[in-house]
């Protein structure tokens, strides 16, 4: 049995890792839950955002928050354009899997072509900064990523819950024709939502650049875990995605501490399977 | 004339659902459309509400050509639909469903006032306002669907099978509500399988069979037609039940 300090430290790093999962899960959950599009290229976009943050910092000495300030609006526009294509070709929930898988592979190849398959590390003075809380260490950047995820999740939740556009998006997700009969222009809203989803990938990308080592194949590393987070959190439920991120992050990291790292995916997917057995109506 | 439907044809792909529907609804009237299952009644009202596009024919509302109006803008002109099977947004709360009802323009500005009116008409909806619409009973869901349509402050209310699947006592209540809504000055186009009820409440009625309006007129006149007695009222030779 590991010491209490080790256990405490693993809970902290689990929460922080969960924050990053949630940050990645947010956009995916929104487009899956509200547009009925499973966007596998979301991970590729996030990694592209990470490489761009790295490139802008490395080559142009642009601070990461300024880089994010450029990347996030650009990704919003990219998300809108992507949805124009999806709408034009009448992409459905199932075909979206195929189309966005293809898109992810293309983006991966582009990243590999431009930045090569070598590992890239964005060295910043803040990379090793951390806050000490008693015997525990909290890395500052990961904490910031986690707080950003929480802020975005709560803000998005409030937007969906309290604004007319948010309610219209949820109504149209259930029955687009009926929502349309009451004046909801779902086609127009879908562009905005797709833009927001891609913008969130950009935010996640900026933090990934700062926190982790970059490699093109990283796209696929997140896929399983973040999918589990999206489904456990409930499709289209941002706060659910945040809590599910924490749940998966903590259970993985505690498993790594008490058992072995190899057991971590088993725990997160057991949670997913257990949930699907007990509450199948969630998907 | 508030609503004019002239030789309307509607199809799903190559399958025609309605091919010759002609009817009129005057402001302030209650008009019923009766007919057997699959005659195209729902297709007709859904098309008026903008859910489908007509293939040919004319669809005019208050002089405006509805065929040229984008689907999500039809409601702006004062048409609201209570669809068959209610089609509430099941995961959203009752009040959120009502909010979608007043999504557009003027209706949104009058939200508070209309909401009070709807809750006055259906006190049970006020009690359940925070509950998911999908968790309501059938009758309550029907009330929520009517409430949602009223939130749009329609001039013309399209009611598709409001009594379907409801207990007789609830059906009585539903028709009282329809009368009350009509008394407030809303014009009503009612599609109903319950022919006795539909003729009782209507100023005029039409019979739709196999996608075609085959008869129309005052309920009293329709009730006298032998064919309608046989097909819809279970009567023979104008006498008692067969």
Q: What is the mean pLDDT of chain B?
A: 91
∠ CA(B195), CA(B197), CA(B198), 5° rounding? 60
Distance between CA atoms of residues B184 and B126, nearest Å? 20
Output the six-digit token pair for A249. 């992050």
CB contact under 8 A, B89 and A168: no
CATH ID of A4-282, from 2.60.40, 1.10.730, 1.20.910, 1.10.3470: 1.10.3470
CB contact under 8 A, A167 and B104: no
| CB proximity B132 to A under 8 Å | no
| CB proximity A167 to B under 8 Å | yes
Q: Is residue B46 part of a domain?
A: yes
Q: Is residue B14 part of a domain?
A: yes
- Hunting for tokens 């998966």 — which residue is that? A248
Question: Chain A residue with minimal CA distance to B95?
Answer: A167
∠ CA(B201), CA(B206), CA(B209), 5° rounding? 130
- With 60 as the cut, is the pLDDT of residue B241 above it? no
∠ CA(B43), CA(B48), CA(B50), 5° rounding? 90
Indicate which CATH number applies to the domain containing B24. Answer: 3.40.50.300
Q: Is residue B176 part of a domain?
A: no
Distance between CA atoms of residues A152 and A158, nearest Å? 10
Q: Is residue B203 part of a domain?
A: yes
* pLDDT per residue rounded down to tens, chain A (283 residues): 678 888 999 999 999 999 999 999 999 999 999 999 999 999 999 999 999 999 999 889 999 999 999 999 999 999 999 999 999 999 998 999 999 999 999 999 999 999 998 899 888 888 778 888 888 889 999 999 999 999 999 999 999 999 999 999 999 999 999 999 999 999 999 999 999 999 999 999 999 999 999 999 889 988 889 999 999 999 999 999 999 999 999 999 999 988 888 888 888 889 889 988 988 776 6
Instruction: Render pLDDT for B131-145 as a digit per residue (tens, 0 to 9).
Output: 999 999 999 999 999
Beta-carbon contacts below 8 Å between A and B:
67
Q: In this predicted structure, what is the pLDDT of residue A130?
A: 87
**Interface predicted TM-score (ipTM) over 0.95:** no
Q: In this predicted structure, what is the pLDDT of residue B242?
A: 40
Q: Which residues of B touch A180 (CB under 8 A)?
A: 50-51, 71-72
Angle at which helix A4-35 crosses helix A238-258, to 10 degrees, equals 150
Over residues B105-115, mean pLDDT: 93
Domain residue ranges of chain A, discontinuous segments joined by +: 4-282
Output the six-digit token pair for B97. 């469903």
Q: Is residue B126 part of a domain?
A: no
Query: How many structural domains is chain B composed of?
Result: 1
Output the six-digit token pair for A69. 């300030």
Q: How far is CA A176 from CA A36, A171, B75, B76, B154, in A?
A: 11, 7, 15, 17, 20
Question: Chain B residue with minimal CA distance to A164?
Answer: B103
Q: Which residues of B touch A186 (CB under 8 A)?
A: 72
CB contact under 8 A, B87 and A184: no
Q: How close A147 comes to chain B (CA, Å)?
A: 28
Question: Chain A residue with minimal CA distance to B106?
Answer: A183
Global pTM exceeds 0.95: no
- In this structure, the number of other CB atoms found within 10 A of the CB of residue A240 comes to 23
CB contact under 8 A, A183 and B96: no
Among A119-128, B75-84, B92-101, where is mean pLDDT lowest? A119-128
In chain A, the N- to C-terminal Cα span, in Å, equals: 37
Distance between CA atoms of residues B104 and A185, nearest Å? 10
Distance between CA atoms of residues B103 and B111, nearest Å? 9
CB contact under 8 A, B50 and A167: no
Q: Compute the 3-state secondary structure of chain B and give helix, strand, coil in percent, each to the nearest 5.
A: 40, 25, 30
Alpha helix segments (H runs only) across A36-139 = 41-60, 64-88, 93-115
Which conformational region is residue B82 in: left (phi greater than 0), alpha (psi within -120 to 50 degrees), or beta? beta
Alpha carbon A248 to chain centroid distance?
A: 14
Give the residue numbers spanning the domain of B195: 1-78+154-162+186-242
**Which is more confident, B240 or B38?**
B38
- B-facing residues of A in 184-203 (CB < 8 A) are 184-186
Q: How close A195 comes to chain B (CA, Å)?
A: 22
Q: How close A184 comes to chain B (CA, Å)?
A: 6
């Amino acid at each position: 049995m590991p010491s209490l300090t080790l256990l405490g430290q693993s809970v902290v790093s689990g929460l922080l890792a969960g924050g990053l999962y949630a940050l990645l899960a947010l956009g995916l959950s929104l487009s899956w839950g509200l547009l009925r599009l499973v966007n596998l290229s979301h991970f590729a976009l996030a990694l592209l955002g990470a490489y761009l943050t790295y490139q802008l910092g490395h080559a142009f000495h642009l601070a990461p928050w300024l880089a994010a300030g450029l990347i996030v609006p650009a990704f919003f526009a990219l998300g809108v354009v992507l949805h124009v294509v999806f709408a034009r070709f009448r992409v459905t929930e199932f075909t979206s899997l195929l189309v966005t898988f293809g898109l992810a592979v293309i983006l991966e190849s582009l990243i590999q072509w431009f930045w090569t398959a070598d590992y890239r590390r964005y060295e910043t003075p803040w990379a090793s900064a951390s806050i000490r809380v008693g015997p525990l260490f909290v890395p500052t950047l990961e904490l910031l990523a986690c707080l950003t995820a929480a802020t975005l999740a709560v803000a998005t939740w409030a937007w969906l819950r309290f604004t007319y556009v948010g309610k219209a998006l949820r109504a149209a997700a259930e029955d687009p024709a009926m929502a349309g009969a009451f004046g909801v222009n779902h086609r127009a809203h879908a562009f905005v939502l797709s833009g927001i989803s891609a913008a969130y990938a950009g935010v996640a990308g900026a933090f990934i650049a700062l926190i982790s080592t970059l490699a093109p194949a990283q796209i696929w590393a997140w896929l399983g875990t973040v999918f589990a987070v999206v489904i456990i959190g409930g499709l289209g439920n941002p706060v659910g995605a945040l809590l599910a991120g924490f749940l998966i992050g903590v259970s993985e990291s505690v498993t790594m501490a008490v058992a072995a790292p190899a057991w971590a995916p088993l725990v997160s997917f057991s949670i997913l399977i257990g949930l699907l057995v007990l509450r199948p109506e969630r998907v | 004339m508030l609503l004019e439907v002239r030789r309307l044809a509607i199809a799903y792909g190559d399958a025609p659902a309605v091919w010759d529907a002609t009817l009129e609804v005057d402001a302030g009237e209650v008009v019923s459309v009766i007919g057997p299952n699959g005659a195209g009644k729902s297709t007709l009202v859904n098309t008026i509400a903008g859910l489908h596009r007509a293939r040919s024919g004319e669809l005019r509302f208050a002089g405006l050509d509805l065929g040229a109006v984008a689907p999500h803008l039809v409601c702006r002109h004062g048409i609201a639909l209570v669809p068959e099977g209610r089609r509430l947004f099941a995961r959203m709360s009752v009040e959120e469903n009502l909010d979608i009802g007043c999504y557009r323009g003027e209706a949104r500005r009058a939200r508070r006032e209309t909401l009070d009116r709807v809750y006055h008409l259906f006190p049970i909806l006020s009690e359940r306002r925070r509950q998911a619409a999908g968790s309501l009973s059938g009758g309550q869901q029907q009330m929520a669907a009517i409430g949602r349509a009223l939130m749009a402050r329609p001039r013309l209310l399209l009611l598709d099978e409001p009594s379907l699947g409801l207990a007789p006592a609830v059906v009585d209540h539903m028709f009282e509500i329809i009368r009350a809504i009509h008394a407030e000055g809303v014009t009503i186009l009612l599609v109903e399988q319950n022919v006795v009820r539909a003729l009782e409440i209507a100023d005029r009625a039409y019979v739709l069979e196999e996608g075609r309006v085959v008869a129309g007129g005052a309920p009293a006149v329709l009730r006298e037609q032998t064919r309608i007695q046989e097909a819809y009222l279970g009567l023979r030779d104008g006498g008692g039940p067969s």
